[in-house]
Structure 1
Amino acid sequence: MSEDQKAAIEALSFEDALTELEQIVGKLEGGQAPLQESIDIYERGGLLKAHCENLLRKAEARIEKITLDRDGNPAGTEPLDG
């Protein structure tokens, strides 16, 4: 896969990458593609999967938990896993 194709995948939003990945899975499961095309789209699917996982890890790192004071009022935030 060319660097341009990899860069194009990295530019996709999570939703667009997931939609394309679902289409690839459907095509592979349906046996609708000749062997070489199946290999090519399988490789692209692997890159799309890795891209989606990376975006999810980044999103999880940004999630914060709201902390409450004794009276139940918001008092600030802390990392979700903190």
Structure 2
Amino acid sequence: MADGDTGGEAEPGYEQARDELAQVVARLEAGGLSLEDSLALWERGETLARTCERHLAGARERVETVLHEAGADDDGTARG
């Protein structure tokens, strides 16, 4: 993405981002990190959360499209 968070790496898939986010949260909750390490992890978590949100928004859009098309087919609307 253009915001520079990925450092040129490909964006992870939803499951990969979700799993890494869970690891980040667990490390933050465990404590014992320096302030700098905690901030870096928090920033990574924010990036991963945005990635998950993008994937979920795309999935939601696909489901809504399919449901809309199915509804159009059910009410007799001609589809070409």
Query: What TM-score results when the alignment is normalised by the length of structure 1?
Result: 0.69
Structure 1's consecutive aligned runs of 4 or more residues displaced over 6 angstroms after TM superposition are: none
Which blocks of at least 5 consecutive residues in structure 2 are unaligned?
A: none
Which blocks of at least 5 consecutive residues in structure 1 are unaligned?
A: 77-82
Higher helix content, 1 or 2: 2
Q: CA deviation at 1:3?
A: 2.8
Amino acid at match of 1:38: S
Higher strand content, 1 or 2: 1
Q: CA deviation at 1:45?
A: 0.5
Whether contact under 8 Å (1:14, 1:52) holds in the other structure is yes
CA RMSD, 1 decimal: 2.6
Amino acid at match of 1:57: A
Query: d(CA) in 2 for partners of 1:37 and 1:49?
Result: 18
The higher relative CO (CA closer than 8 Å, separation ≥ 6) is in 2
Alignment: residue pair count: 70
Task: State the identity as a percent.
Answer: 31
Matches within 5 A, 1:1-82: 3=4, 5-8=6-9, 11-63=11-63, 64-65=66-67, 66-67=70-71, 69=74
Query: What TM-score results when the alignment is normalised by the length of structure 2?
Result: 0.71
